Structure 1
């Protein structure tokens, strides 16, 4: 399955609509066979506070692996917040060769270093696998005056001081996604008053507290918070078509006349210089996990799309993303030189 990217007004920002690559053929074996297996619990780090996209991925993967009996050792979720991921990356970078340490990753592993707020990027770690693709979603409080995305954007046009929160650092994923949306709607992308929080959970808390007008987040990480009686309401989602489940009633940006889309891929990296046999073990483990009923139920509930790549392919994908995002940040005046 291939997601068709949407486009925006400026050629430079068209690259924000990331193409979800075709699913890899997944192995049909019932048990993972490898020359190496973990000998103690695997530390699985979410580089943010609980409640965000990395945390959701880490806890969902850990739970499915345990419930499906795919691994002898537990995968222990660990939250290391700070710096849009930079604090966790610095800690993991010091643990070279450790085959028992993994962390969830997504576009900030490229965007944060390019913006100059981390000296570590994806090339400092071991690519394991890309797992899924998600989309951006714009939320307001349930009692907000804004009824659709254009209401919000018109208010921002009239008063640029209105704040939009996100769970990633300035110049990182949520900021870039919001800047691209504003640009596609005819606003100055650099004028968006983006407020960075240490994770999606903190961003949502500030939305409910009335400290920001809206929040941009990953659709999967907020799907469980939407529905009847919810304290928040979704104005739009960046997918090319409406999603299923709890997100089925959320209109796309395109439906609201904004020709723009943004994909949020998520995957797993390991500590630097991880042994090849450990990489092979994790590649096979995650490939098998994606075939299980437990994973498919969780994936559908969260509005994710499978987008598996093995470590080598994922590494090449990350290199290409770095080239793309360098140009995007340059277009927006956010590239640290």
Structure 2
């Protein structure tokens, strides 16, 4: 990809609670890898970043690419191998990738790239086809307790937030998480087709991936993994149904390995301006995403803690390799 950075006046870039003073650079072009198939949350995130940066006049030339597989770790490895030192290359990811790196024993990890910012958070919903006999969380728990292997779940990659949510629900229902029949899909579109086609018992993902079908009455929400009711949906929480599930999927953007501190600061500056724009926040409200923006050292510390805690969770649930 052709790219160029042109010098402009030095400025002060706010990064979290710290100030980084460095000569600013104008980003003329940007590539964003979504390490999953079209239609899923990472793809939606990448394309929302693309449209917002362009509509706000922050970056004029942006290309989005999709590389699916293994919870984003295939795309992550390709990104690392092909983009090292490239200040215009970025990749989106999130909590799903944290688990996938661990569960798939990936040869590369999130510590091999340059974390820029956490962007959004989204609670997970469990859905069934509208004609399903399952009406609520109690029905689903009873079915799971009777025959855990007979309840099939469609969700994102193994070890990701969807998988963790199912495992935790199993625990809450008194079922061994190791006995759940979880079927991972690389893209939200594939999982949705399996749910609507009756190929699985239930589906689990972020609300935005199912919102159109929920609003059309094609899917019924069994529960949402929020501690309290959310403004964008009237779906019941698992907590109010007696199951202590408080799980939020977060999404981030990162830069390539081996970029300079100056290049990193400029990327963060552009992403920070985007995250504060009306256009971005309107998109978040429409999609049921929460603005959980965090950048700089605060985000790097948060990410390190998430990797550590998720490693422990996956071991407890018996879904890490």
Pairwise same-fold verdict (TM > 0.5): yes
User: CA shift at 1:128, angstroms?
Assistant: 0.7
Hey, what does 1:42 align to over in structure 2?
30
What are the residue-to-residue correspondences of 1:261-280 with 2, within 5 Å? 261-280=246-265
Spell out, residue by residue over 1:17-40, the C-alpha distance to the aligned partner (whole angstroms, 9 max, x if none): xxxxxx95799xxxxx9622334x
- Alpha-carbon RMSD across the aligned residues, in angstroms, is 2.0
Alpha carbons of 1:225 and 1:281: their partners in 2 closer, same or farther (altered >3 Å)?
farther
Calculate the TM-score normalised by the size of structure 1.
0.85
Figure out how many residues of one structure are paired with residues of the other and give that number.
Answer: 303
User: CA shift at 1:121, angstroms?
Assistant: 0.9
Hey, what does 1:11 align to over in structure 2?
none
1:231 aligns with 2:218: yes
Alpha carbons of 1:112 and 1:325: their partners in 2 closer, same or farther (altered >3 Å)?
same
Candidates 116, 126, 131, aligned match of 2:104:
116
Candidates 301, 306, 315, aligned match of 1:316:
301
Spell out, residue by residue over 1:117-166, the C-alpha distance to the aligned partner (whole angstroms, 9 max, x if none): 42111101001111111111101112211111221221122122220110
Paired with 2:50 and 2:189, the residues of 1 have a C-alpha distance of 19
Candidates 291, 307, 312, aligned match of 2:276:
291
Paired with 1:221 and 1:280, the residues of 2 have a C-alpha distance of 32
Paired with 1:59 and 1:124, the residues of 2 have a C-alpha distance of 24
Hey, what does 2:156 align to over in structure 1?
167
User: CA shift at 1:233, angstroms?
Assistant: 1.8
Paired with 2:212 and 2:61, the residues of 1 have a C-alpha distance of 25
What are the residue-to-residue correspondences of 1:19-34 with 2, within 5 Å? none
Deviates more, 1:249-258 or 1:325-334: 325-334
Secondary structure of 1:136 counterpart: strand
1:143 aligns with 2:128: no
Paired with 2:74 and 2:255, the residues of 1 have a C-alpha distance of 15
Candidates 41, 58, 79, aligned match of 2:46:
58
What are the residue-to-residue correspondences of 1:51-200 with 2, within 5 Å? 51-71=39-59, 73-94=60-81, 95-160=83-148, 161-168=150-157, 170-200=158-188
Paired with 1:104 and 1:91, the residues of 2 have a C-alpha distance of 13
Secondary structure of 2:243 counterpart: coil
Paired with 1:147 and 1:233, the residues of 2 have a C-alpha distance of 8
Candidates 179, 187, 199, aligned match of 1:211:
199
Calculate the TM-score normalised by the size of structure 2.
0.89
Alpha carbons of 1:211 and 1:271: their partners in 2 closer, same or farther (altered >3 Å)?
same
Hey, what does 2:5 align to over in structure 1?
none
Q: Does the aligned pair in 2 maintain the 1:133–1:304 contact within 8 Å?
A: yes
Higher relative contact order (CA 8 A, sep 6+): 1
Alpha carbons of 1:38 and 1:288: their partners in 2 closer, same or farther (altered >3 Å)?
closer
Hey, what does 2:227 align to over in structure 1?
240
Paired with 1:214 and 1:109, the residues of 2 have a C-alpha distance of 22
Alpha carbons of 1:268 and 1:210: their partners in 2 closer, same or farther (altered >3 Å)?
same
Paired with 1:244 and 1:232, the residues of 2 have a C-alpha distance of 19
- Provide structure 2 residue ranges, at least 5 long, that are not aligned to the other structure: 1-14
Secondary structure of 1:37 counterpart: strand
Secondary structure of 2:24 counterpart: coil
Q: Does the aligned pair in 2 maintain the 1:34–1:280 contact within 8 Å?
A: no
- Provide structure 1 residue ranges, at least 5 long, that are not aligned to the other structure: 1-22, 28-32
Structure richer in strand, relative to its length? 2
